[in-house]
Structure 1
Amino acid sequence: MKKLIAAASLCVASFSVQAAIVVPEYDVNAGKQIAETVCAACHGVDGVSVVPAQPNLGGQNVKYLYKQLVNFKAGYRKNGIMQSQVANLSQQDLANVAGYYASQAPWGVGFGNPATNQEATKLFLGGDKSRGIIGCAGCHGPDAAGNTWAAFPRLGGQHSQYIATQLKLFRAAGREDDIDSDDQKRANDAAKEGEKGMMQTVASKLSDRDIRILADYVSAVH
């Protein structure tokens, strides 16, 4: 419990340096129209993706969704496909899409790995003090449901492939790996460019095995 409290305190401190995320009043029906024409091929009309590399969005926290879309449009989060998809959308469009997907039923549950479940549970809930890793549950909750107020995303049931990819992108940014392409790093957890956010800091200490077992674990959490 002490580890969870400490981790939560660090997360709140990290979030407090960022400007509060305020989602404009949104129109779910307008968001659905955009989702059907722009987003559905990758994320599904109802926010359930059939492609493991693409995230499920249905029932995700609206602040998180809106922030990611704004970051893609501003180029703060790099991904060629997403940046091209939102290029012609207004801020209001982004809010509408975020609101629509957030209003959908949460996605289902994936499949974990029984062989690594105990090890992954310990890492997710309590971290690893010997390596300076805080538990994921401090920010994302013991049930991986996220934190709506702080715009921390729901992870439970998400595709393990997508989770693993994002952790590696955060790790590359946190370790300042010498990678030519910016879209091979993810640094939009920080308050501004040039700083390191919580996810970069945590992911920089994770091994490939850590990432694999955590991704499998959260995919099965519900």
Structure 2
Amino acid sequence: MTDFVFPAPAPAALSVAGSAAAFPLARVFCIGRNYRWSAHEAAPAQMPAWFMKPASAVCAARGELPYPPETGDFCHEIELVVAIGRGGQDIDPAQVPAHVWGYAAGLDLTRRDLQQQAKQAGGPWEPAKAFDHSAPCTPLVPVAACGHPTKGAIWLTVNGSERQRADLSGLLWTVPELVAMLSRSVALMPGDLIFTGTPAGVGPMLPGDAVEGGVEGIGRFCMTVAQRAATPHRETSQEFAF
């Protein structure tokens, strides 16, 4: 048995709908633009970009949503989340359903101002995307209960005002195509989550905002954005050390 130099942290996990069981988490992959954001947008010529968040960023989509530090532009992105139950590499798209354990509704939360800074500097996106509590999810619904959804509403409101609405049939790249793409780059593992992209209408959230959303037949959530934590004043630099 390994003699750790300090107690190992508890493994990250996501609850399972209608069960006391938990789904252990490995990694979190997030897909870039995967819906048309305008009616005249051309069909994509290549697969979308992807990035990662740590498994520790996943949290239950309920109660208070912490407002993260280091940002003044905290944005929502509602997404269908795919949970991998069987690993594999270079998976044939036709075989992907056998690798999917279940689905959830999730939020790819973003510090948009940090993302824009990273884009301008050609730097990494981790400060904008990989912060604590940046991947809230509803409980996972097993495939045995929901099948493999290819249509159904995906939506989000802030204070009762609709911000995002689309249909899963509007995904530019389907779940089998996305899973196959990722598996060509990395060996997927049981416990991996894949956030499949967000519809048009992403926008900022403020402390006190009531945020509701969901995916038809999969799950829905209601959260309240918490107040900003007090942070000490410090000098800032306009230079980027990426």
Q: TM-score, normalised by structure 1?
A: 0.25
Q: TM-score, normalised by structure 2?
A: 0.24
Larger relative contact order (Cα-Cα within 8 Å, sequence gap ≥ 6): 2
Higher share of residues assigned helix: 1
Larger Rg computed on CA atoms: 2
